[in-house]
Amino acid sequence: MILAITFLFCIFLGRFLYIQLIWEEELHYRALDQWTREIPVNAGRGAILDASGELLAGNRAAYAVYARASAVEDAEGAADLLAGFLGDRETLLRKLTDRSKSEIVLCRRTAKEVVEALAEHEVKGVYYARNDERVYPYGALASQVIGFTAYDGTGTTGLEGYYDNLLAGKKGEILFETDLVGVDLKGAAAAYLPATDGLNLRLTLDVRIQSLAERVMGRVLGETSAKAVRAIVLDPRDASVLAMVNLPSYDLNEIPRSDLTLLNSLSRNRAVSDVYEPGSTFKIITAAADIEEYLRGNKRALDPMRHVFPSARTRTVDGTTIRCWSDHKNGKHANETLAEALNNSCNPCFVDIALALGKETFYDYLAAFRFGRGTGVDFSGESIGMLLPESSLRDCDFARIGFGQSIAVTPLQLACAAASAVNGGKYYAPRLAAGVFSDDGVKEEFAPVLLGRTVSEEASRILASMLEGVVRDGSGKKAYIEGYRVAGKTGTAQKYEDGVIAQGKYVSSFVGFFPADAPRYLALIIVDEPQGSYYGSTVAAPCAKEIFEGIIDIMKIPKEDTK
């Protein structure tokens, strides 16, 4: 009996301690909810700033007006008074007499001056709470990246949505003691539970480079009458995104909320969520795989320095004929090395490389470069691309992957893969946010995340040198900048509709970086369905040159000896 009594006593004591110490806060708020009515106090939403502290998203002071119908003594008089400030008397009167709800929103946002004027009249049953309006000083700049908030201030798209839990803060409340039907108790004091403001978000984006890239791509969009243009500028050393452009765009201060189809189209960050066939820019990956395998001693790999590719214009795989874009007449593309094949963007050479390495080895590299899976970017809605399963892959499709067909990637996937191929072989998760900080000095930096290695430093160095030759001597000449070691690869891909080639529709692209021997800036340019000239060498490469020249001017980068 003593043991049983002791056991029961321990149970009761434990329950008592749990209620008093652990459950106490929750029970306290439950009790408050039973004998009080609350008016929300919205937290100040954190600002979004660029890498140098330039404001990209902030707040304009505004206030919400609430009412509790059960506490309003003269609804007619209150409606007359409020209509002078908020308009539409009939709507206000209907709300003020609606006792089916505890609290009613009379006006979601109004100016501070309006609230101050209303407060002087002390309308019983009417209350005011902070509800700031989100503003974007740069309007349409990086609109798909930054995103926007809903009417209630909740982050909806872009980084506003992805980091909403950090930006939003924690709401507070003003509590009023009431009777059973919600009427204020006389003499009862209001309790104030303060809100906790959200954290400020600092991005890796540089507003100067973003503005530059949008200006260049906007001009190209107009000059080529293209369907759309996209650009990504990142730091290959840690995959920090310096600029991300999607045009056409829209102004974040004038969001077309009434047309959801248009809004969904314009607000979609297609650099992250949409896929396309990369075409010849993908040859960077094929070349990287071949160089690395040769350095590892794989006898199936082709010697990147000495192997000479057959000069035939076509390759036949599984009965399918694969052609080079060039007619190979008059000695064109004859007896090429890998460097020359990159310069000339010769498709059959990269068919040879893929078939020589074999599906298993090549797919290992595709996995290492994270094709067919996410990049790890801090952004919602990322597509993983389209990669045919190795087990069901036909040889003719596999051969086409070698030069960028029969595979679909996102622009961000390709940019990060190219960065890894030339930065020494390190694959970093791309990042748009650099850290958070509060107004009272609390600060947290987001460190770069290394996801793995793709190729060795030696293979990366050899590849970067070859790609420098593409800009100096090959198809990327229009990206060449005197006194700077620019490297890159052009691409011109046909588009498919309903499984067949869409005649006259192309995607022109270019991946470039500099300095070639120690990359600090990498740009991917995509021009979707340009009219007139459509080659990546003539449409996309000049865009990269202009962006690089702008960066050189912004960062005051001196010339170097490129001989």
pLDDT at res. 20: 86
Indicate whether 187 pLDDT > 60: no
pLDDT at res. 308: 86
Q: Where are the domains of the chain?
A: 39-68+99-179+191-202, 207-555
What would the mean pLDDT of 246-260 be, rounded to a whole number? 94
CA angle 293, 294, 299 (to 5 degrees): 95
Cβ atoms of residues 320 and 255 within 8 Å = no
With bands split at pLDDT 50, 70 and 90, how would you rate the model's confidence at 178?
low
Indicate whether 180 pLDDT > 60: no
With bands split at pLDDT 50, 70 and 90, how would you rate the model's confidence at 182?
low
Q: Which amino acid is at 472?
A: R
**CB atoms near residue 198 (< 10 Å):** 25
Q: Which entry of 280, 345, 460, 508 is annotated as an active-site residue?
A: 280
pLDDT at res. 43: 84
With bands split at pLDDT 50, 70 and 90, how would you rate the model's confidence at 18?
confident
CATH class of the region 207-555: alpha beta
Q: Which amino acid is at 162?
A: Y
Q: What percent of the chain has pLDDT over 70?
A: 94
With bands split at pLDDT 50, 70 and 90, how would you rate the model's confidence at 428?
very high
pLDDT at res. 19: 85
What would the mean pLDDT of 273-281 be, rounded to a whole number? 95
pLDDT at res. 351: 95
DSSP strand E in 96-138: where? Answer: 104-110, 126-130, 133-135
Indicate whether 551 pLDDT > 80: yes
- 3-class secondary-structure state, position 18: helix
Q: Which residue has the higher pLDDT, 41 or 314?
A: 314
* pTM exceeds 0.85: yes
CATH class of the region 39-68+99-179+191-202: alpha beta
Gyration radius of the chain's alpha carbons? 31
Pair of tokens at residue 31: 């009790």
497-535: per-residue pLDDT in tens? 777 778 889 999 999 999 999 999 999 999 999 999 999
Residue 40 phi, psi dihedral angles, 5° rounding: -70, 145
**CB atoms near residue 283 (< 10 Å):** 27
Q: Please indicate whether residue 280 is annotated as part of the active site.
A: yes
